[in-house]
Structure 1
């Protein structure tokens, strides 16, 4: 081969190698540009839309954490948050078709089921002993026995209503011995401070608010050792049956929130303090009273049945017979993501 031919072959080889090198460098640059970055979030248009009704309650902390940390979005959900003053109001939004799921204590669920509503609990988020009667000492209420003949503010149809009867029975009193005045949960402390009622029965953070505002005129009779409430995620049964995959994604996101609550309390307190608009030190106390663990335990079924009987006996709800509360729990969702947490016997 002549020197001229060798030069032409060499030039062609060099041009081909340069083209390959350019392609390789471009591909390498594209690969490196994504290193160390998280995968792009799922497009909003492709996420499953869910409306979540929440309450200003520390027991709902997993929901607040999941929203703030984006855990729902990671699970392919687009969650719209509704704020309600009580779990009963949140559940009413679900029953009215204005929300898909609600954070709610077990009693409003029990009452709804007795009334014939197809409500089901997807998981218990937390359990706590945080209900109490707060009385005014300047009205002679130094002990629970002194409640006889007094006006007691309560939110009828809520767990506070049930706790009132439980604490009255412990003091050998009945509902006939007191005058119950119905108030929304957020209005109870105001009614007590104004003197419209002599005592109130409620839960945290309303107990702490009433105690703080009354100062040394407050006498507090807690439910600890008598009644532990559960705070739950609930929906209509059709939602659970028709959108089972969405339920599982909701629960996975809440499990991530549960993990943060257990292992990074400082971060969790900051999120819940912002959600409840409370100082961090108060949130620390509220969260310390709650036990966060997604579950569906046999004890929940027992409590629902007890509350259903109480509601029927005291004419809180008119119903011809007690329902089957096994229909009020949806087991498949949690069994798929945290099977050992399901202890309800089918």
Structure 2
């Protein structure tokens, strides 16, 4: 599958309907939470009762990815999606009512390239022409295109294989794909499953994924007070992770499994801080240009500034907002 056609299919998958949550007067917020170390602040806040302490009744729905969380939000299953900024960027071409209200974690190395030695891969340049699996329309797919281009001009000729996160490990084990671009903890599971046949390829800091909260502007209008409670609970979780990392590791292990060493390594790869800053705006602007060129979406006259919404975070942690507007 050619990379342009593959990326265009990704946009089709991401195009959500403009469904608006109908329970404006509801006492409960519902949130899709992506499985992974990116969501640790939410796990900690839930485990320690921070949301309840703030008077928030939060219903959590597990998702296999940020893309999956966004789909649940788009179809009205949940009100809030946890996802990388790329999901907000791509869907801003289809919807004008999205708001990215806070980043909760950031990482330059949580997305990894896992390869099979038996596929004749020992270096990054040898991925050229190989079958590479990843999740369409995800931050892993965005990272993969940049990684391929940076390692070998011919690497973009690699055959891209669309997979769901839950199928990546088995696809590598069976030999259906030669390598995969995937996030944690799936990357660690895949590497472990391959044993001596597995290889983690060099992962330069080509892209810092900023993972956060996506909502509709209708929800902000209807339940602003509840969203502020959510952010205050996450701020408490941020402090807990910084001050008691060993206990936070235990929370991560309880949610994702794995060893203490794996949990510690995954936490070291992430910065757990609520914020909205210039780097987020710059990343999303670059992603928009990439989408116009690679996915061939139609550019809009306005900018992505309407997607990043700092008003709520400014009310609970004004110092966490470092934007130029």
Q: Structure 2 CA distance, aligned partners of 1:146 and 1:160?
A: 19
The answer for the alignment partner of 1:8 in structure 2 is: none
Tell me which of the two structures has the higher relative contact order, counting C-alpha pairs closer than 8 angstroms and 6 or more residues apart.
Answer: 2
Q: 1:40-51 alignment to 2 at 5 Å? A: 48-51=27-30
Q: 238, 241, 244: which one pairs with 1:258?
A: 238
TM-score between the two structures when normalised by the length of structure 2: 0.88
Q: Structure 1 CA distance, aligned partners of 2:185 and 2:206?
A: 19
Q: Secondary structure at the match of 1:52?
A: strand
Matched, 1:103 2:82: yes
Matched, 1:158 2:112: no
Q: CA deviation at 1:269?
A: 1.3
The answer for the alignment partner of 1:169 in structure 2 is: 149
Matched, 1:81 2:93: no
Q: Structure 2 CA distance, aligned partners of 1:246 and 1:291?
A: 25
Q: 1:243-322 alignment to 2 at 5 Å? A: 243-315=223-295, 318-321=297-300
Q: 1:31-46 alignment to 2 at 5 Å? A: none
Matched, 1:337 2:316: yes
The answer for the alignment partner of 1:135 in structure 2 is: 115
Q: Structure 2 CA distance, aligned partners of 1:323 and 1:59?
A: 30
Q: Structure 2 CA distance, aligned partners of 1:142 and 1:88?
A: 31
After TM superposition, which residue ranges in structure 1, 4 or more long, deviate above 4 angstroms? none
The answer for the alignment partner of 1:71 in structure 2 is: 50
Q: Secondary structure at the match of 1:114?
A: coil
The answer for the alignment partner of 2:181 in structure 1 is: 201
Range with bigger deviation, 229-238 or 249-258: 229-238
Q: CA deviation at 1:47?
A: 8.9
Q: Structure 1 CA distance, aligned partners of 2:200 and 2:302?
A: 35
The answer for the alignment partner of 2:10 in structure 1 is: none
- The structure having more radius of gyration, on CA atoms, is 1
Q: CA deviation at 1:175?
A: 6.6
CA shift digits 1:220-248 (9 cap, x unpaired): 22433222111111111221233222221
Contact 1:251 1:334 (C-alpha < 8 Å) held by counterparts: yes
The answer for the alignment partner of 2:9 in structure 1 is: none
Contact 2:129 2:155 (C-alpha < 8 Å) held by counterparts: no
Contact 1:120 1:237 (C-alpha < 8 Å) held by counterparts: yes
Gapped regions of structure 1 (runs ≥ 5): 1-45
Q: Structure 1 CA distance, aligned partners of 2:302 and 2:184?
A: 30
Contact 2:125 2:155 (C-alpha < 8 Å) held by counterparts: no
Going from structure 1 to structure 2, the CA distance change for 1:320 and 1:296 (only over 3 Å counts) comes to closer
Q: Structure 1 CA distance, aligned partners of 2:154 and 2:95?
A: 28
Q: CA deviation at 1:267?
A: 1.6
Contact 2:102 2:212 (C-alpha < 8 Å) held by counterparts: yes
The answer for the alignment partner of 2:21 in structure 1 is: none
The answer for the alignment partner of 2:17 in structure 1 is: none
Gapped regions of structure 2 (runs ≥ 5): 1-24
TM-score between the two structures when normalised by the length of structure 1: 0.83
Q: Structure 2 CA distance, aligned partners of 1:47 and 1:72?
A: 16
Q: Secondary structure at the match of 1:181?
A: strand
Q: Secondary structure at the match of 1:124?
A: strand
Q: CA deviation at 1:322?
A: 6.5
